[in-house]
Structure 1
């Protein structure tokens, strides 16, 4: 299943907090990528945060994965999780051949 995880910074980090947290946040995020749970990732352009396209078995699995990231655990970032799938109505455009 695919899940968009839209992360928003809700409590900006001080420079000292960045020095403490980011050395753990980056490798933990990359590990989710290497494990195949994060398929793609982007920085948000509208506000501080990230967007992950996740490949997981369930929304609960995505929730667990992002909630264990240091920024989430520390109360600095929250995630909105949205499951997505194929655009099913497009099938109507395909002519069935006999």
Structure 2
């Protein structure tokens, strides 16, 4: 199942906190990528945060994965999750014979 995880920074991170958290955040995110749970990732252009396209068993699996990231665990980041899939109405274009 594909899940779009939109992460937002909800509490400012001080420079000291950034120094302490990011050496754990980056490897934890990379681990999810190498496990195949994060398929694609982007940095948000509209606000501080990230967007992950995830390949997981369920929305709950995605929630557990992103909530275990250090920024989320520390209350600095939150994720909005939504299940996504193929654009089903496109099948009407090929089945209309």
> Fold conserved (TM > 0.5)?
yes
> TM-score scaled to structure 1, two decimals?
0.96
List per-residue Cα deviations over 1:7-28 (Å, max 9, x = no partner). 0000111000000000000000
Q: Whole-Å Cα distance in 1 between the matches of residues 45 and 73 of structure 2?
A: 23
1:19 matched to 2:19? The reply is yes
Displacement of 1:85 in angstroms is 0.5
Partner of 1:56: 56
**SS, match of residue 91 in structure 1:** helix
Displacement of 1:95 in angstroms is 4.4
> TM-score scaled to structure 2, two decimals?
0.97
Partner of 2:8: 8
Give the unaligned 5+ runs of structure 1: none
CA RMSD for the aligned pairs?
Answer: 1.0
Q: How many residues align?
A: 97
